[in-house]
Amino acid sequence: HFARAKNPCGVAAYHLPRCFASQQNLFVSAQSFVFKYRNILSHSLPAIKSPAEIKKNSARHFLALSKFIFVVEIKNQNAMKGKTLKHEILHNISTVYNLAEKSKLDDTLFEVTKQELSFLAAYFHTTTSQALFIAIIFTLNYKGKKVDLNDLNTHFDCNPMKLLEYSDDFVELYEKRLLRKFKTSNRYRQIKLKSADEEFFINELISAKILSSQPIPEVLNDTMRYEDIYTFLEKLYQLGVQREKEEISTKELFEQAELMIEENQHLALVKAVKSLGTIEDRFLFLVVVWKFLYGDKNPWVDKTFEAIYDKPNLRFTQIQKFLLRQHNLITENWLEIEDAVFFDDAKMTLTEKALDLLAECDIKLFNKSLEKKNNVILPESIPFRKLIYSDHEAKQLSLLKNLLLEENLKVTQERLLSKALPEGITALLYGAPGTGKTESVLQIAKATNREIMKVDISASRSMWFGESEKIIKKVFKDYKSYASKCKTTPILFFNEADALISRRKEVNGSNIIETENRIQNILLEEIENFDGILLATTNLANNLDSAFERRFLFKVEFCKPNILAKSQIWKSKLPHLSDKDCEILASQFDFTGGQIDNIVRKNEINAIIYGNSGDMKQLMAFCREEMLTNSYAVSSIGFQKN
């Protein structure tokens, strides 16, 4: 029948002369074949309602096929002779997977696959039912997806309640670490039931053992020995990620972390932290070290403990101990806490003692392969812009730029040092807003191929007594440490530093004024001993504290551009304008370069939205819109008609 139908079920069949197979082998093959393809065969064979009828009908119908050719799926045991363990395992998994499809997960499935499941159960050290689920999940995983209960129900075509009868098997497979799981968020699931939102996948070590024809040990230990500390710390951190996703419990987390630490005692840091009390302390410390190396120097306290502890009561107990500074890592001076108003704002960081330990273990605190600092601007990321200066500005900035060329800077600093003069290069760029101070710093950095470490002035203020002073000191400490790892000295950039370098005030009992004065005193002291490159900008030079004037070697004033300079700026921004139009715009509107940029941007937006580049009339309208008052307008020349 199937030969005439040209094998409509699409199964890879063997064509075997009848005289080459015994009746016993044919019967077994026929029984399996009917079981698997009973839905298709139901159109041509009598209805099969029970295992007994399967056995009876399979023998009768398949022995009645053509005497010349049998088209059956045969379990050829002899074909497996000489094959590797890998081939035998994969063959058995494949057979179980195929026969389990649409099987309803009934007892007949276990009868038909008894030989294969017994082999797999012995290999995995499990029961036959557990071996069945391993085979199905393993195969579905290699189809490129994790597996949930719905996937298994679909494959078996069974009632979900039937699958839940085997829930103990899944628990045991997790405990044996043969299976992994994690919770997934399904927005279409309207109710939450235990295990309903879990997905399963085979432990990757199992796949590796199978594909390399290696046996599975009775006690599975997938802890690996790592050659470098960075890989070890990353893998240890991933345990916390698994815990946070609820793939493993806190108990499993600490068990696996303990095994990893024991297995990697050849790494200096791992060996050193073995004396840090409990496994909980060791794991927390190593996680904070990894975050530090990855760029997160101040991880949140609550987020860190949330990733470790699965039970809220344990989590809050540990957080409370940490906030009260009763935690072992704080009392032993390995970690310190940064105070906050609310507990969920508190952060932790490594102490100097911890940093010294990392240095002793030859761990680089600035690893180029890790993420760049958020406040660092790379010279190659700065787009080139042509700036128009007055002669006086151009002369001073040219001297500063040429000085910062690497070959000139080295010679200059060596000579200054030989004459007992400060070797640090400091410059203050001051003037009206929009005159190009900040952009000049960027273009100097690009021209001299220097990185910029930009200081966020607003972040230097803290509501906590004494914290602002610490922040200012930390800015210079971080710069010095970062500069020591760079090929060329980077630029420390204080943009809009008005609040830091303005005149100091009389205290008169004000705590705020007292704090501001202390910050300025610290800044003056740091600049006095500074040996790098510091550039600062300010709009309020008239309010500059006299003590800072001496600290800045270069003081470059940026004036509003004159008519000639403004005309050149207009021409550089809008080349299609005639020289006469540029002169008209320059003479009628007293704009800075920043304001001209605003008008050019509006013109570009107008071209995109309406499909035309603005003419002179449109530009004049944009210029008038730019003026909030008449303060930017130049007085008209000549007589005005009343």
State how far the Cα of 91 lies from the Cα of 99, in Å rounded to an integer.
12
Say how far apart CA 9 and CA 271 lie, in whole Å. 61
Mean pLDDT of the residues in the chain: 79
| Residue of 523, 514, 578, 516 whose CA lies nearest to 547 | 523
Residue 638: its pLDDT value, please? 39
pLDDT at 340: 57
Cα separation, 373 vs 641, in Å, equals 61
CA distances from 299 to 292, 356, 478 (A): 8, 19, 17
Tell me, what's the pLDDT at 629? 56
What pLDDT score does 77 carry?
47
Sign of the four-CA dihedral 302, 307, 312, 318: negative
d(CA 291, CA 260): 18
Q: What's the pTM value of the predicted model, to 2 decimals?
A: 0.45
Q: Which residues of the chain have pLDDT under 70?
A: 1-82, 182-197, 219-223, 339-344, 364-374, 458-467, 503-512, 541, 629-642
CA dist 364 and 386 (Å) reads 39
pLDDT 10s digits, 50-85: 555 554 444 434 433 332 233 333 344 444 455 788
Do β-strands 533-538 and 425-431 pair in parallel, antiparallel, or remain unpaired? parallel
Q: Which residue has the tokens 């304008």?
A: 577
Confidence at residue 3, expressed as pLDDT on a 0 to 100 scale: 37
Residue 270: the pLDDT is: 93
pLDDT of residue 548: 83
Do the beta carbons of residue 558 and residue 429 sit within 8 Å?
A: yes
Cα distance between residue 460 and residue 574, in whole Å: 40
The amino acid sitting at 115 is: Q
Residue 221 confidence (pLDDT): 60
Closest of 161, 159, 146, 156 to residue 197, by C-alpha: 146
Which whole-number Å values give the CA distances from 8 to 4, 69, 237, 253, in the listed order? 10, 17, 52, 51
> Degrees (nearest 5) of the Cα angle 42, 46, 50?
85
How many alpha carbons lie under 13 Å from residue 131 in its C-beta half-sphere?
26
Range list of H helices, 294-405: 301-306, 312-323, 328-331, 352-360, 391-403
H-run or E-run covering 92 = helix 85-100
What's the confidence (pLDDT) of residue 441? 95
Specify the DSSP class assigned to residue 78: G
CB 399: neighbour CB atoms within 10 A?
12
pLDDT, position 223: 60
Per DSSP, the three-state class of 132 is helix
Residues 6+ apart with CB under 8 A from 301: 319, 322, 323, 337, 343, 344, 346, 347, 348
What is the model's pLDDT at position 18? 35
Contact 178, 163 (CB under 8 A): no
Amino acid at position 87, single letter: H
CA distances 425 to 400, 530, 532, Å, are 9, 8, 6
Q: Which residues contact 450 (CB under 8 A, 6 or more apart)?
A: 379, 404, 488, 489, 490, 491, 533
Helix, strand or coil, per DSSP, at residue 523: helix
pLDDT digits (tens, 9 = 90+) for 136-152: 999 998 887 778 888 99
Write the DSSP symbol of residue 383. P
